[in-house]
Amino acid sequence: MANNLHMFSPEWMEQFRQVVNEDRELSWIARWMTCDFVWRIGEAAYLFSVAGGKVNLVVAPTWNDSWDFAIEGTEEAWSKFAQPLPPPMYYDLLGMVTRLPECRLTGNRLKAMQHIRSLTRMMSLVREVGGGTR
């Protein structure tokens, strides 16, 4: 699904949310996933509220918000991850946060690991939304 949206913009995130919620594989494996997490892309951050495997909300987090964990990386790292055929070390979420110094997983790691299969599938759907423009 190619698009002309600025990669990782709020509009792009809304399209990503729709792709995630329509994915049949994810709807099966994430049906018990309920959590709030932040996806930090460089300086930008988005709070995802997930219930029953569906992303209900994607917003910029505020001081009053709380979340279970955060997945963080540079915009360059996430842009590589979003490529149709990512370079080595950039094709898997868990590999990125455990092996790349510019990426990390913070917060409640137990909660994140309980949902790692769902998170991995969810994040791989970035490639279906497409790179857009940067």
Is the predicted pLDDT of residue 133 greater than 90, yes or no?
A: no
- The pLDDT, as a whole number, for residue 31 is 95
> What would the pLDDT profile of 48-65 be if each residue is shown by its tens digit?
999 999 999 999 999 999
- The pLDDT, as a whole number, for residue 5 is 61
- The pLDDT, as a whole number, for residue 131 is 61
Q: Is the pTM of this model over 0.85?
A: yes
* Region 77-90 average pLDDT: 95
111 closest CA partner among 25, 37, 17: 37
53 closest CA partner among 111, 117, 118, 129: 118
- The pLDDT, as a whole number, for residue 130 is 74
Q: How confident is the model at residue 6 (pLDDT cuts 50, 70, 90)?
A: confident
- The pLDDT, as a whole number, for residue 132 is 52
* Alpha-carbon distances of 14 from 6, 77, 134, rounded to whole Å: 12, 21, 17
- The pLDDT, as a whole number, for residue 126 is 95
Is the predicted pLDDT of residue 14 greater than 60, yes or no?
A: yes
